């Protein structure tokens, strides 16, 4: 059945694949981006089932205007896919506070802005689905990813808790943890590479940037297949609350789950007997 699917960051990378696959499947698509003219060009120009509108996810005003434009054009919104994001790489001490805040503004507060604008529509309908792209880095901390991982760990907590807020209104939530896919996350337009400023980190920074750049274009995951999988989730009677995407991600999350269990068990000796003792004088 045709749905109205609202996609952020549709001008390139995975967002473009999601919009294209949704259009090909017969859905009505609201494709958003900071430069709508580029979004429209990327998706092949005007189409009856396509609304292209400006949206910088860090702007609350943009989010509210885009949600209203979607309702004005199609009458409803069935699925919100929070895809827009970027990557500030580097070691913690070398990431300026302003860049750390920028990372959170885009990757965490950005999808919050858009979701806050869309939720009143979904609640009125008593139906809808919010899908937010997290990352394997939202489950597992990694070297050189401290800002990105912190923002995505925030996405995980927000989405996992949002579920309980909106379930009574027949609104589903799914948080997505992709592994390595051939998106455009590692291109210079999406990634901010650090300038070595501290001697202790300089050699590691240079080597790590080289290694990360060499991965671009070689990632094992196909973003078009990921887009198809996301659309399949929107058709599930009980959509997955968490979608671990890619064989590499599934293996890594399984290992993390075992590590967490081992750490919980290792904490028993010190952690099991910390209850307040009312008999204690």
Q: Which residues are catalytic?
A: 134, 148, 152
Alpha helices in 189-238 (DSSP H): 199-215, 223-234
Query: Which residues, in sequence order, are CB contacts of 84 under 8 Å at separation 6+?
Result: 8, 9, 15, 32, 33, 55, 57, 106, 110, 111
CA separation for the pair 200, 146 (Å, rounded): 17
Contact, 25 vs 48, CB < 8 A? no
């Amino acid at each position: 059945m045709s749905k109205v699917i609202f996609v952020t960051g549709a001008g390139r990378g995975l967002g473009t694949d999601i919009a294209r696959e949704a259009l090909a499947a017969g859905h009505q698509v609201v494709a958003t981006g900071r430069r709508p003219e580029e979004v429209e060009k990327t998706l092949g120009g005007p189409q009856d089932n396509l609304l292209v509108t400006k949206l910088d996810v860090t702007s609350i005003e943009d989010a509210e205007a885009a949600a209203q434009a979607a309702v004005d054009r199609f009458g409803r919104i069935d699925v919100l896919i929070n895809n827009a994001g970027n990557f500030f790489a580097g070691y913690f001490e070398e990431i300026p506070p302003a860049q750390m805040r920028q990372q959170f503004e885009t990757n965490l507060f950005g999808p919050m802005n858009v979701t806050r604008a869309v939720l009143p529509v979904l609640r009125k309908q008593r139906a809808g689905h919010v899908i937010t792209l997290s990352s394997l880095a939202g489950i597992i901390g990694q070297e050189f990813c401290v800002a990105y991982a912190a923002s995505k760990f925030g996405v995980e907590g927000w989405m996992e808790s949002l579920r309980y807020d909106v379930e009574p209104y027949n609104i589903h939530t799914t948080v997505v943890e992709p592994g390595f896919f051939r998106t455009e996350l590692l291109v210079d337009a999406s990634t901010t590479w650090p300038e070595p400023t501290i001697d202790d980190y300089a050699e590691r920074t240079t080597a790590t940037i080289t290694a990360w750049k060499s991965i671009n274009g070689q990632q094992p995951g196909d973003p078009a297949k990921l887009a198809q999988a996301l659309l399949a989730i929107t058709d599930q009677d009980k959509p997955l609350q968490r979608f671990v995407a890619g064989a590499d991600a599934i293996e890594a999350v399984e290992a993390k789950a075992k590590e967490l269990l081992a750490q919980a068990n290792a904490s028993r000796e010190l952690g099991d007997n910390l209850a307040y003792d009312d008999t204690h004088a």
